[in-house]
Structure 1
Amino acid sequence: MATVVMEQIGRLFINAQQLRQIPQLLESAFPTLPCTVKVNDVPWVFRESHIFTGYRPPDQNWRYYFLTLFQRHNETVNVWTHLLASLIILVKFQEVSETVDFLRDPHAQPLFIVLLSAFTYLAFSALAHLLSSKSELSHYTFYFLDYVGVAVYQYGSALAHFYYVVEEEWHARVRGLFLPAAAFLAWLSCAGCCYGKYASPRLPKFAHKLFQVVPSGLAYCLDISPVLHRIYSCHRQGCTDQAVTYHCYQVVFFLVSAYFFAYPHPERWFPGCCDFIGQGHQIFHVFLVLCTLVQIEAVRLDYGERRPLYERLHGDLAHDAVALFIFTACCSALTAYYVRKRVRAHLEEKAE
């Protein structure tokens, strides 16, 4: 009996030793990362207004920046908000695909596009905030990629709103212009953001913001018009459509997010106190994610409940709309690539 007890104690002792080795194993798998640095220790392009600490040092290897996904720095919240949201979109896509035949139902293609475009902008944004600190060229490259994602999502949203949400009265007014104008404004938004980023060292801060906000604002005014008309029509008729409720939330969440994108509050009120959490851009991310999620739920409801209307209004439009989506994405990507070449040439000239 005593021998058995001693054997059990010996096994427990060995297991305890193994447990003590776990932190060492984790440390070898995830090496100690360099500490974050202050604003004066990074080049100008990485600096954010009223954010003084939490910057990641540039010129590290790629592994370091991927591992900073688990480090506390001033971009951590921005990365995780859109990374988690992109995973939620994938789960939502899986749920929708169980009841919707994306391959055989042409009227489901706009729903597929808005899901794809939502995932694209969220994933590209997460990559931009995670990897842009490696170098100045990487900073521009990944944010240009982010702007391509935004343009893709703008057109995807416009298509879903026009296809599923629009009322017959508004459709009669804009049917010949809506999608081409939405595609052009989505590209213009990407081009404006890319140029504003490229020229930002030579522009006042407000001018840089104008290049980002004005084209995106024009695109939003067009893209959301079917939704606003639907809300107005529903209110006038006294309807109780659940999808309209979601659309109302979508508009409110977007307007809140737009405010925090345009105005860097609360860090402007409390400089240095929001370096890691509480930045206006983080709040912008959260409300934009909420906007996207309720938008997709509203569009999903409209896809299921308004089929007789959109089949009659649009006919075979879905195939042309998909082609225009691909064209918009390609034009935006080529524009971003061209501006990146200009940035690279400028940086090489500056290095000489």
Structure 2
Amino acid sequence: MKSSVVPTHTDLNTSASSRTDLGSSPMMPRVSLSAPSLFLAALPSLPPTVRDADVPPLFREPFILSGYRPPGLPWRCYVLSLFQIHNETLSVWSHLLAAVCVALRFTGPEGQGFSVDVASLPLVLYAFSAVTYLSCSASAHLLQSHSESAHYSLFFLDYVGVAIYQYGSALALCLYSSDTAWMQSMLGQVFLPAAAMLAWLCCTASCYAKVRFRRPYPPRRKLCQVLPMGAAFLLDISPVAHRLATHSWSSSPALALHCLQVVLFLLSAFFFSFPVPERCSPGDYDIVGHAHQLFHFLLCGCTLAQQEALLQDFLWRRPALLRVFGEQRLLLACASFPLLALCCSLTALAMRRLSSP
């Protein structure tokens, strides 16, 4: 490898004829900038990504042939891989940026005087649940290649985050986005306990499927994940579905956003369930465009649309919220949120111990 030559001050002030001679010489000196060089040298170098055959089966994805980070590296390598191009890069960044957007919506200038009280507490829990699931997912995809133990632990954490978000969404949709007819129905009466049970079931089923099945995964593994999540979605979205079916969409700008979140979620569920387009052309969508990546982008869009719809519903419902539900009922409903989070965390911890050799 040839080393670059840095000219001295005298070299740079040579005569025109000398510069002409240097220009015709194959040994023409190059001017290097020392500050960027020192900065780049201070960063640890990351090993290149590898092919699917170079990583254990646990870390491979169907029809994704390249862009894998080798396991067994120091933790800092996976943290710094946030700025490396690999097959998880866009999946990580999509959820990180969405988490920042959710947080800024309530804490930055966009919050516009948003204050926390009993009426707004369910919305605060919703925002917390959204940031939690987005952050847990981003962490899992960024760091899971470190080792088999890290892979299981981080994805169990991801499943806990998803369950927390499911119940956070159900809580906010029930209190802010439902109408009187739905609240007085039998479904409305049992909605929150049923939503908590299904959120816990989704976490348990996903953890069990991760422990029970090994690659190449059989179709029943996907069913263990999709069926509970589908049931939870149908229940959680029922307040919105009732409003969309019984009210004019022009009556509230939130209804169009609710419709958008339903469409985006259904599209994300499709890409979560089916590995397209990479199935049609293995290797062509390793870095950009594979199904799980599209799932991430669509789910982020769904979350942001749902956030805006809930905020509008909250502003519309807030003046009468305490009168309709009562302070005690609101506090009791919110108290179920940390209880659900604790149950899911303990379940994931128990399942993680089962997966240990």
Which amino acid in 1 is paired with 2:227?
V
Q: TM-score, normalised by structure 1?
A: 0.89
Give aligned pairs, total: 329
Partner of 1:111: 123
Partner of 1:208: 221
- Root mean square deviation of aligned Cα: 2.0
Deviation of residue 311 (structure 1)?
3.2
1:75 aligns with 2:85: no
Q: Share of identical aligned residues, percent?
A: 46
Partner of 2:114: 100
Partner of 2:20: none
Deviation of residue 31 (structure 1)?
2.2
Q: Distance in 2 between matches of 1:202 and 1:78?
A: 21
Deviates further, 190-199 or 311-320:
311-320
1:234 aligns with 2:247: yes
**Contact 1:82-1:285 at 8 Å conserved across structures:** yes
Q: Distance in 1 between matches of 2:215 and 2:43?
A: 40
Aligned mate of 2:160, from 121, 126, 148: 148
Q: Distance in 1 between matches of 2:299 and 2:95?
A: 9
Aligned mate of 1:178, from 173, 186, 191: 191
Q: Deviations over 1:205-262 (max 9, x none)?
A: 2111111111111111100000111111223xx6431011111111111111111111
1:225 aligns with 2:229: no
Deviates further, 26-35 or 286-295:
26-35
Q: Distance in 1 between matches of 2:284 and 2:178?
A: 45
Which amino acid in 2 is paired with 1:322?
C
Aligned mate of 1:331, from 339, 343, 351: 343
Aligned mate of 1:187, from 197, 200, 210: 200
Unaligned runs of 5+ in 1: 1-5, 11-16, 347-352
SS of structure 2 residue aligned to 1:332: helix
Aligned mate of 2:353, from 326, 341, 349: 341
**Contact 1:82-1:123 at 8 Å conserved across structures:** yes
> Which of 1 and 2 has greater Rg?
2
Unaligned runs of 5+ in 2: 1-8, 14-29
Which amino acid in 2 is paired with 1:269?
C
Deviates further, 36-45 or 308-317:
308-317
Q: TM-score, normalised by structure 2?
A: 0.88
**Inter-CA distance 114–302: structure 2 relative to 1 (3 Å threshold):** same
Q: Distance in 2 between matches of 1:254 and 1:267?
A: 21
Q: Deviations over 1:33-68 (max 9, x none)?
A: 111111111111101000011110000000100010
1:248 aligns with 2:259: yes
**Inter-CA distance 18–332: structure 2 relative to 1 (3 Å threshold):** farther
SS of structure 2 residue aligned to 1:177: helix
Aligned mate of 1:38, from 31, 40, 51: 51
**Contact 1:30-1:67 at 8 Å conserved across structures:** no
Deviation of residue 271 (structure 1)?
0.7
